[in-house]
Chain A
Amino acid sequence: MTQSFFEWMQGLSFSAWMLEETWASPIIQCMHLVALVAFAGAVLVVDMRLIGRGLIKTPLNQLARELDRWMIWSFVALFVTGAPQVLSTALKQYYSPFFWWKMQIIVIGLLFTFTIRRRVAFAEEGTLGHWPKVVGVLSIGIWTSVSVWARLIGLLS
């Protein structure tokens, strides 16, 4: 079932176009990397603040609110530029364990970011004890592992 879905994606005329068009993949990969930098920065500034580093003179919830839309829109850009790459190399992705680890951790990361991390980052400071530090470290760990698995798909698959 899953394999046939990936075979279907690989067989799409869009996937063939992506592979045949010389500049399509490089341009999309470059855009994906620029979006990654924007996403990483938005996440990091808040995560560092959660663990008591970085912009500590700025209230945490103010920082989190201001960078929220940058984080969301850069993630949207990551998805929009990542999907064509998955479509055009669907079977390579399907057989790569790193792709599946990346996808699983992205789901965990999104759930974590929009539930626990959001609640902690938007809460009144000083009311949650050590939890902000734990949440900050977990968030950095989750998103770092996503970029590690992503890089390894291309290198070791």
Chain B
Amino acid sequence: MRSLFEWVDALPSSIALRESLNAYPTMLTVHVVSMCLFAGLIAYWDMRLVGLTLKKVPVSNIPTRLFPWALTGYGINLITGGLLLYSQPMRYYDNFYFWAKMALMVVAGINMFWFHYATYKSVQAWDQGREIPMNARLAGVVSLVLWAAVVVTGRMMAYAGLMPEWWNNLNIGA
């Protein structure tokens, strides 16, 4: 894995991106704005499942009407995030919060697919009503917590000096 990161780090396009004055601020700013689009809409979908808000909106309306926008935000977020990683791979290689964020995104994705292919299939039975099944509520809470953790670990990536002690002891960067 380390050799892959080092190989990318040495690519001329990675170096060019890293040395550009405007690339990093532009990519990071677009990353934050697209995060607002994606995470903002997903948060209200999750809160609808939990029963915190939008109670009069049929549950099935949200994936149909809001997900295309949320996925657009997610796509832009993935591209800008990928470019940020591409431009400074060795900055992130030994960063605990980077790997924690990646792991959390995978778990959030699994939760989303699990919900979609298991719980959501019975949506017609609870679409209009206010009583959301416990499985759906649970998926909403798990999703809220996971995406909030993704946002938090994403912000924490800037704090290279605040890695957990046990992570530093692994000496991954050496």
Interface residues of A (CB under 8 A from B): 22-23, 26, 29-30, 33-34, 36-45, 48, 53-58, 62-63, 66-67, 70, 144, 147-148, 151-152, 155-156
Smallest CB separation, A58 vs chain B (Å): 5
12 sample A-B contacts, Cβ–Cβ < 8 Å, listed by A number: A26-B155, A33-B151, A38-B40, A41-B43, A44-B41, A53-B69, A54-B69, A55-B54, A55-B66, A57-B58, A70-B53, A152-B25
Chain B residues whose CB sits within 8 angstroms of the CB of A54 once the complex forms: 65-66, 69
Q: Beta-carbon contacts of B22-66 to A below 8 Å, as 1s and 0s?
A: 001100110011011101111110000000011111100110011
Please determine whether A42 and B44 come into contact, CB atoms closer than 8 angstroms.
Answer: yes
Please determine whether A66 and B151 come into contact, CB atoms closer than 8 angstroms.
Answer: no
Chain A residues whose CB sits within 8 angstroms of the CB of B152 once the complex forms: 30, 33-34
Chain A residues whose CB sits within 8 angstroms of the CB of B56 once the complex forms: 58, 62, 66
Interface residues of B (CB under 8 A from A): 24-25, 28-29, 32-33, 35-37, 39-44, 53-58, 61-62, 65-66, 69, 148, 151-152, 154-156, 159, 162
Chain B residues whose CB sits within 8 angstroms of the CB of A156 once the complex forms: 25
Please determine whether B62 and A36 come into contact, CB atoms closer than 8 angstroms.
Answer: no
For the complex with contacts A41-B36, A41-B43, 13 further pairs of A-B residues with Cβ separation under 8 Å are: A26-B162, A30-B155, A33-B151, A34-B151, A41-B42, A53-B69, A54-B66, A57-B58, A57-B65, A67-B53, A144-B36, A151-B25, A155-B29
Chain B residues whose CB sits within 8 angstroms of the CB of A48 once the complex forms: 66, 69
Please determine whether A37 and B57 come into contact, CB atoms closer than 8 angstroms.
Answer: no
Smallest CB separation, B50 vs chain A (Å): 13
Smallest CB separation, A133 vs chain B (Å): 16
Chain A residues whose CB sits within 8 angstroms of the CB of B156 once the complex forms: 26, 30
Please determine whether A155 and B25 come into contact, CB atoms closer than 8 angstroms.
Answer: yes
Complex: how many Å from CA A26 to CA B163? 12
Chain A residues whose CB sits within 8 angstroms of the CB of B162 once the complex forms: 22-23, 26
Given A33-B151, A37-B40, check contact A58 B57 (CB 8 Å): yes
Please determine whether B33 and A147 come into contact, CB atoms closer than 8 angstroms.
Answer: yes
Chain B residues whose CB sits within 8 angstroms of the CB of A57 once the complex forms: 58, 61, 65
Set A45, A56, A62, A155: member contacting B44, Cβ < 8 A: A45
Closest 4 CB pairs of A and B: A41-B40, A40-B36, A40-B40, A155-B25
Complex: how many Å from CA A122 to CA B121? 35
Complex: how many Å from CA A42 to CA B42? 11
Complex: how many Å from CA A58 to CA B60? 12
Complex: how many Å from CA A42 to CA B39? 11
Chain B residues whose CB sits within 8 angstroms of the CB of A155 once the complex forms: 24-25, 28-29
Smallest CB separation, A102 vs chain B (Å): 13
Complex: how many Å from CA A37 to CA B42? 10
Interface centre among B36, B43, B57 (most CB of A within 10 A): B36
Complex: how many Å from CA A40 to CA B152? 16
Please determine whether B33 and A144 come into contact, CB atoms closer than 8 angstroms.
Answer: yes
Please determine whether A55 and B39 come into contact, CB atoms closer than 8 angstroms.
Answer: no
Complex: how many Å from CA A36 to CA B36? 7
